[in-house]
Amino acid sequence: MGPQREEVIEGRALQVQWFERNRLELHPGNAPPYDVLLGRLGVDRLVQQGRDWQALPTSAPEPGCRFFAETGHNVCGAILALWRANGLEFDGRPGKSEAESLALFGLPLSGPQVETLSDGREYTVQWFERARFELHPENAPPYNVLLGLLGNEFQQDRR
C-alpha cells in the first residue's frame, strides 16, 4: 500500500510499511525473527473505532475450543483451524506450534460477533491483537475464513 516510512507506534518512532491487511514494523533492537513484527492492528483498529476490547463480553471455556484465560475468550471451529494452521516459523519443526500461531496473530480480543464491515455486509468476526478473522460462508474452504482488511480500513479512517 505504500513505501516504508517512519511513524510513531505506541510512543516509539519505527520504520513501518502498510499492507491491505496489516502493518509491518521494523524493530532493529530485537533479535530475528522478532526484528520485523506485524503491528497490533487489531488493537489499533478497535481503538480507532472508539471500542475498548477489554470491555467486550468474555466467556467460560467451551468444549472443543481453545480458551485463552489471559483475555477470557474462546477460539473455535474454522477460526481456530486457521489460527492453528498459520504462524511464525521459529521452532524448526513441521507444522505450526501454538507459540508460533500466537506470535503471528496474538491473543483473541473478542469472541465471535456479527459486525457490518467496510463492504456494507454483515459477517461473523473475531478480533485478535494483530488481525480480524472473518467467516465468509459464501466461499469454499480454505477461503471461508479470511483476514480482515485492517490496513486499508485503518488508513482510510485515518484521513
**What's the pLDDT at 70?**
97
Does residue 57 form part of some domain?
Answer: yes
Does residue 94 form part of some domain?
Answer: yes
**What's the pLDDT at 1?**
72
SS3 155: helix
Looking up cell 502498510 gives: 18
**What's the pLDDT at 93?**
87
> Are the C-beta atoms of 117 and 43 separated by less than 8 Å?
no
* All cell numbers assigned to 77: 471451529
User: pLDDT tens for residues 87-128?
Assistant: 888 788 888 999 999 989 999 999 999 999 888 999 999 999
User: pLDDT tens for residues 6-34?
Assistant: 999 989 999 999 999 999 999 999 988 78
Does residue 133 form part of some domain?
Answer: yes
User: pLDDT tens for residues 37-61?
Assistant: 899 999 999 999 999 999 999 999 9
Does residue 56 form part of some domain?
Answer: yes
SS3 42: helix
For the residues 126-138, what does the mean pLDDT come to?
A: 97
Does residue 61 form part of some domain?
Answer: yes
Does residue 4 form part of some domain?
Answer: no
Kindly tell me if the per-residue pLDDT of 157 is higher than 90.
no
Domain range holding 152? 41-158
**What's the pLDDT at 159?**
66
**What's the pLDDT at 91?**
80
Does residue 29 form part of some domain?
Answer: no
**What's the pLDDT at 128?**
98
Does residue 79 form part of some domain?
Answer: yes
Number of Cβ within a 10 Å radius of residue 133:
24
